[in-house]
Structure 1
Amino acid sequence: MSVELLNIEVAYARSDKQVIVALQVDESCTVEQAIELADIIRQFPEIDLAKNKVGIFSRVCFLSTRLQENDRVEIYRSLAIDPMEARRQRAVKQGR
């Protein structure tokens, strides 16, 4: 019995650098295992899977979620500033 391999991507982005790693993984692979296989945490030590949310195609999911063919695993960063506060600051800067 052969194991089916899935083609997936693992993505992480900062304002200065973005990385997308293409992988072939076992059909039983989870989000957490894919992130480990992609070795992104070594490149970006600020990632803490206990704190950073993760998702598949912009939908938040659990680290234990099993992957499907062509999934894109995404590691999300915390917001640096609340979106409403950012809008207020832009409005003040523009003199509104």
Structure 2
Amino acid sequence: MNFISVELIYAFPKKYYHFFIKLNNYSTVRQVIETSGILNLHNEINIYSNKIGIHGKSVNLEYMVKDGDRIEIYRPLSFNPIELRRQKAKISRK
């Protein structure tokens, strides 16, 4: 059986979790996340609603990972970027 090595990242503004995982060659993103144990550490992660990407590009849970992939679990935005720009524009006009 061939094995591959992948990374899993879950980040906060001042802290991040970084896992190095070895799995069989035919593993999905879902299997990597479940194998990592991150779901036990952070119950706020919902793999069905949190966006997930590899090297910054969105993927689904059934995506077959490749050796060297860096899987990223994204947190929901705590603010609306459009509304934030509007607020900054109001302040700068004053």
* 1:15 Cα deviation from its structure 2 partner: 2.1
Q: CA RMSD in A?
A: 1.3
Q: Secondary structure at the match of 2:9?
A: strand
Gaps spanning 5+ residues in structure 2: where?
A: none
Which position in structure 2 is the counterpart of 1:11? 9
Relative to the length of structure 2, the TM-score reads: 0.90
Gaps spanning 5+ residues in structure 1: where?
A: none
Separation (CA, whole Å) in 1 of partners of 2:2 and 2:81: 42
Over residues 23-65 of structure 1, what are the superposed CA-to-partner deviations in whole Å (9 max), with x where a residue is unaligned? 1111011000000111111111110111111111111111000
Which position in structure 2 is the counterpart of 1:31? 29
Q: Does 1:71 align with 2:69?
A: yes
Relative to the length of structure 1, the TM-score reads: 0.88
Residue identity matched to 1:60: S
Identity of aligned residues (%): 33
Q: Secondary structure at the match of 1:65?
A: coil
Moved >2 Å (runs of 4+) = 88-93
Which position in structure 2 is the counterpart of 1:85? 83
